Structure formats: C-alpha cells, structure tokens
Amino acid sequence: MVLALFTTGLLLGGLLSGLVLGALSGLSTPLPAPWRYAAIVAVAAVGLLRELGLAPIPLPQNARQIPRDVLQRGLSGSMQFGFELGTGVRTYVSASAPYVLAVALLLGGQRPHVAMLAGIGFGAGRALTPLTRRAAGTGDGWDAELRARLRALTVTAGAVLLAALSLLALRQI
C-alpha cells in the first residue's frame, strides 16, 4: 500500500510539473520556431557532454533531500513524499535528461497534453527505481548493479534524447 501511494504521488507530482511547463511554454512562442528548436538541440548536446564528463556544468537543483519526517506521517506521508519527488523541484535530480526535457517542453510549443504526458513519464521513471528494487528481492544486490550501470544509463538516456530531439527539430523546420 505504501509503495502504491508513493507511486501515485510520483505520477501526480510529475503531472503537475508537466502542467506548469506546458502553461509556461506559451511564453516562448514569440521566438521563431527554428531558434527554439536549435536551442533545444543545443541544450540536449550540452546535457550529453555533461553526462560524458566533458562539460562540468552544475545542474540547477534544490540541493537538499525531502525531510525524513514526511515519511513518518503514515500513508499520506508516503504520497506526499512521492508527490514532492515527482515534481523534481524539492530534491536532487542528478541526470541531465530531465532538464533537457523541461527545456524542450518550455520551448517546443507543444499541446498541453504532451507536456502532461511528459510529466507523468518523469514520475513513472522515478517510480521505476523503487518498483524494480522491490521486484529484485535483494536491495543490496540491486543497489550494487545500479551503481555499476548508472553512468551508462545516464549517457545512453542523454544520447537517445539528443537524437530524438534533433529528429523532431529537423521535422519541424
């Protein structure tokens, strides 16, 4: 039950972030579309360079954890913790890909439902960690595997995002 409420909170938090980014995306529409798409691809390229260790750029994040006492509030605390983690604004986000996606949502001029789905996708991505860890049965073994593969995962995510956004930009121009 706790994991289900936590996951629901993650999805709702991601949805809220998507709604906000979608609403703010209208501010970029006066810029010519080719400029916006070029900026999206440039940010994605910088994100990939950061993941490769070639551009030591600090991420704009709230460098503190959500307080542990939130989890001690019972079932509602689990949902609140998930919601705050799902928004991505009150905790660490160590990979570049979510920031690249946020820029793409802000500058892309997409329909609101696209931003909402992207936000839900962010929350679902964050939910994969505790869900797969629990499904593995051995938390310590799973943690060791994640540590061993984390760099490859973040670099691959950055490369795929750069390629996808580049193809979308070419399609729009």
Q: pLDDT digit string (tens) for 6-57?
A: 889 999 999 999 999 999 998 888 899 889 999 999 999 999 999 888 989 8
Tokens of 66: 């959500």
Judged against a pLDDT cut of 70, whether residue 173 lies above it is answered with no
Q: Considering only CA atoms, which of 25, 158, 5 is closest in space to residue 94?
A: 158
Judged against a pLDDT cut of 90, whether residue 69 lies above it is answered with no
Q: pLDDT digit string (tens) for 110-163?
A: 788 889 999 999 999 888 888 888 888 877 888 888 888 888 888 898 898 888
DSSP 29: T
